[in-house]
Amino acid sequence: MGNMCGCGKKSSGEKIGGHPHELGVKERTHPLIQKINDGSEFSQVLQNPTNSGKIVVADFMAPWCGPCQQISPAVEKFAEEFSDHAVFIKINVDENDELAMSYGVSSMPKFIIFKDGVKLDELNGANPEKLHQLILQHITQK
């Protein structure tokens, strides 16, 4: 019988194949995207005075999530494109399950947009075009 992992799936206990956590899937990193390790870090980013007036794009994801990995290059591109107007953060839901639950993350990826600590909008799913539109919408609003 396998162990229960943070995503709620039982691991197979097999060395090859089985659950993606067993496959050694690594998280992508990017210099303009801050990895959030806990709720305290998350709050600090939302309340940071240097982020005042900027939107914060929170990416709730998991390294084993296929759609999360598919949209990751687009998110990295957006982080570069909007670096003057937005802060991008990545939250691994397996490592931050309480934070994910507090924002109603039931499927991934889920993007939540904040400004000055206030939640403005959200997008469920790996849709780069819609995410781009959402970011543009909120950075152009005063």
Q: Given 36, 68, 86, 87, which residue is catalytic?
A: 68
Measured CA to CA, the distance from residue 135 to residue 113 in angstroms comes to 8
Question: Do the domain assignments include residue 4?
Answer: no
> Which residues are CB-contacts of 84 (< 8 A; sequence separation ≥ 6)?
none
Q: Is the peptide bond before 109 cis (omega within 30 degrees of 0)?
A: yes
Do the domain assignments include residue 6? no
7 catalytically annotated: no
Q: What is the distance between the alpha carbons of residues 92 and 38, in angstroms, rounded to a whole number? A: 10
Q: What is the CATH number of the domain that holds 85?
A: 3.40.30.10
Q: Is residue 22 part of a domain?
A: no
Q: Are 123 and 131 within 8 A, CB to CB? A: yes
Count CB neighbours of 109 within 10 A: 25
Task: Determine the average pLDDT of the residues in 121-141.
Answer: 96
Is 20 inside a domain boundary? no
| pTM for the whole structure | 0.81
- Structure confidence by residue, pLDDT tens digits, 91-113: 999 999 999 999 999 999 999 99
Number of domains in the chain: 1
Per-residue pLDDT tens over the stretch 25-54: 555 677 899 999 999 999 999 999 988 899
Active-site residue flag, 65: yes
Domain of residue 58 covers 27-140
Q: Which of 45, 65, 93, 135 is catalytic?
A: 65
In a domain, 129, yes or no: yes
